Structure 1
């Protein structure tokens, strides 16, 4: 049987990542219709978004380690199957409990897909220009997936109703599943050590408590008893996880992963970068709908320039890295995105898409995609092949948890500013004041991340050493 070309395999794996990112944002503009269609309360409506992010963030480390131990293609197929079935269930849901449970199951499936697909993609090429191009594709589809979710969410909701946002995801997932079966070859597990069940449970519960506390804080406030209890539980479970890891022969997160300190430092940068990612796709559609008065379709189409800029930036990232080095590219990209966010902080309550949204969206899209590509590359650089799935899970976890932290903080700040402004401003002007503050804070975080990146990264040249990862993802390469 003729082996599939690496480009075709990469396309399938990237399609899986695109689907995961799509599901993160596709419900945003359809929330009012979903609320009315299923009979959700205001609290339950927020959990249509939160349930997905909670399960996704809590289980990413477990998904990455399972991919290394059980086989990355096998875990990818299980994740796709779970994701597709959950999407179909969400489309047919007629009660709040079923819909929220289906969204949580989607997140669990995504936690298997993302690290397994990234590890398989990294194994297609050795370090160097080929792998950098693969990561550029990864960055393009990741950023475009978030923007496309808003576009498709608006289009499908306006045309056929909210269930079709889930029907479309289910159909796309089945297509990716079929392509994976046909084109992605099976591979032996990269690591045959035992599975750290206790550590996995402790880490998943700790992340669940942390993300639940953060998402609940957005609505109930940071001093709410439940929120404080969640944070205490997260800290206690994290300490338990560390104790478990010191006493097991095959820990969930092997200490060798952090040898040299590069992985930890660069995942810190990814967490800070991620803290503004989810918030962008949360606040920008809200401004377009609640202040500019756009309907769901117009709001979705308004994300197209950002998506296109994202793909352009991802395509430019490898060439820029070769010319000026990773550190300069990361710092420049973060500052570019910060400039776009600062531009967004000047939005007006009486503005319009062309004057307030278009220009900064393009700037943010270019900076976001380049930064994501290079931070992902740096986060997995030098990681042994046996730990590639776990490294992919870790970098996704830090971005996802960073996004949860960032959105919780920024939503609280924006809400507080709006509440105070309501006393002496009209409603639309008060809302705009909150959104402006959120974008300005995002710009400050990104600028600080750029300064930190200048210290924590170094100028690197493309690696020429053989890839330590097993090459069995392509038949005939071992």
Structure 2
């Protein structure tokens, strides 16, 4: 049976849309989740971090499974896991239950996302058709992030926070029913040894989780406490073991030889810092808008829209500029704009107008964050062999997710510490929350400043239109 490639693209893009949607849709529901499930302030970030850490930590394993077991099979498995855990998350009645569901949901996303991209690349021939398909794929993924905040606000205000998870279930069921009709089954590596490097994925993800947990617990326990030191030292030990396993593996998840490329190494660090700044800003601002300024969930979502629009415009502008002035110039400009946007946002208080105190910073940051991301992704794959471009893209995508989780842990810990200290010194709660918000954004701005200096070490490249399309779509 002949299947329309554009129908296949529609199925794949919708699946990727809900994966990206889930990164942002939950943010505007956080204050409602915190109140309903009695989350502590420092544990609330795990609603986001559990998802992003498992998603980033197992993204490469998901790609490997797709290659060895067949992308359609892994795509369906990832979708079913994603849908089932979305249902479980909506039914959660305790913080631990929700965090666990979000972690497994991130694992589902890590399976389906690389499998969907693998199906897309074998469905469309190299050239114009694939470039168009990649553009649609990347555009809908970006739209998912932008619409997530508004969709989350509508669902929370009109129904309840549970519906930011329930909404995935009918979409997943429809997609699973459509896949046999519109997505053909392709198999690779038949007859070869099936080496998954599960040990690498488990060690890497466990090490990162331990480090993040140690950072989070430093606020209530103190950096010198036995619990914090145990998790930090244990996490570092696990990460060292991960590197040793990857160095000896015949088929490593992360081919360490890739990091001999200066472009890949710098881009990985830059995108990790970019993720740290973005996730931290999004988390803090979503709570600030509702708990300090009194926004409803929908109002908070609408207030984020200009940033999403600026990011879309920034992506178009960055794509044009990298061909004219080079990747490093655009990336440096994006990093500087990110710093400026975060510094402007850090000046917001409890009473100033949205138009004067928040809107300029959100727009500037929206342009800046994508101004770093587009050239960073292009530079990452510039020095690697063509057959390893997928692995390189997977590494930088995983670094972005992991950097976001680690950055959020650091920023949230320091923000909570400032708020707690202010309350202890008699500052009213609303002003204490503002103080914490401002400190958190200043720490996020420090990440962006570090990115400015790191970008100076990046190579200057001027890609062709085709290289640009493929690199940005794989982001």
| TM-score of the aligned structures, taking structure 2 as reference length | 0.85
| Secondary structure of the structure 2 residue equivalent to 1:456 | coil
What CA deviation, in whole Å up to 9, does each residue of 1:324-363 have, x standing for no partner?
Answer: 2222222222222222112212212211222222222122
Q: Residues of 2 paired with 1:272 and 1:128: CA distance? A: 33
Aligned to 2:186: 187
Aligned to 2:414: 413
Inter-CA distance 105–464: structure 2 relative to 1 (3 Å threshold): closer
| 1:34-73 equivalent positions in 2, closer than 5 A | 34-38=33-37, 45-73=44-72
CA contact (8 A) 2:78 2:111 kept: yes
Q: Residues of 2 paired with 1:182 and 1:221: CA distance? A: 56
Aligned to 1:436: 438
| 1:13-28 equivalent positions in 2, closer than 5 A | 13-28=12-27
Q: Residues of 2 paired with 1:62 and 1:214: CA distance? A: 26
Q: Per-residue deviation at 1:386?
A: 5.0
Aligned to 1:272: 273
The number of residue pairs the alignment matches comes to 467
Comparing both chains, which one has the higher relative contact order based on Cα–Cα distances under 8 Å and sequence gaps of 6 or more? Answer: 1
1:290 aligned onto 2:291: yes
- Which stretch has the larger CA shift, 219-228 or 268-277? 219-228
Inter-CA distance 373–174: structure 2 relative to 1 (3 Å threshold): farther
Aligned to 1:212: 213
CA contact (8 A) 1:72 1:389 kept: no
Inter-CA distance 168–388: structure 2 relative to 1 (3 Å threshold): farther
| Secondary structure of the structure 2 residue equivalent to 1:455 | coil
Match of 2:456 among 443, 454, 457: 454
What CA deviation, in whole Å up to 9, does each residue of 1:108-157 have, x standing for no partner?
Answer: 11122333344555667799998777666566545543443332222101
Aligned to 1:359: 360
| Secondary structure of the structure 2 residue equivalent to 1:302 | helix
Aligned to 1:233: 234
Q: Residues of 2 paired with 1:4 and 1:343: CA distance? A: 48
| 1:2-21 equivalent positions in 2, closer than 5 A | 2=2, 4-5=4-5, 9-10=8-9, 12-21=11-20
Inter-CA distance 301–260: structure 2 relative to 1 (3 Å threshold): closer
| TM-score of the aligned structures, taking structure 1 as reference length | 0.85
Q: Per-residue deviation at 1:418?
A: 3.2
Unaligned 5+ residue runs, structure 2? none
Inter-CA distance 95–453: structure 2 relative to 1 (3 Å threshold): closer
Aligned to 1:331: 332
CA contact (8 A) 1:114 1:392 kept: no
CA RMSD of aligned residues (A): 3.4
Q: Per-residue deviation at 1:86?
A: 0.9
Inter-CA distance 126–409: structure 2 relative to 1 (3 Å threshold): farther
CA contact (8 A) 2:326 2:462 kept: yes
Inter-CA distance 45–255: structure 2 relative to 1 (3 Å threshold): closer
1:170 aligned onto 2:169: yes
Aligned to 1:473: none
Q: Per-residue deviation at 1:178?
A: 4.8
Aligned to 2:84: 85
CA contact (8 A) 2:131 2:466 kept: no
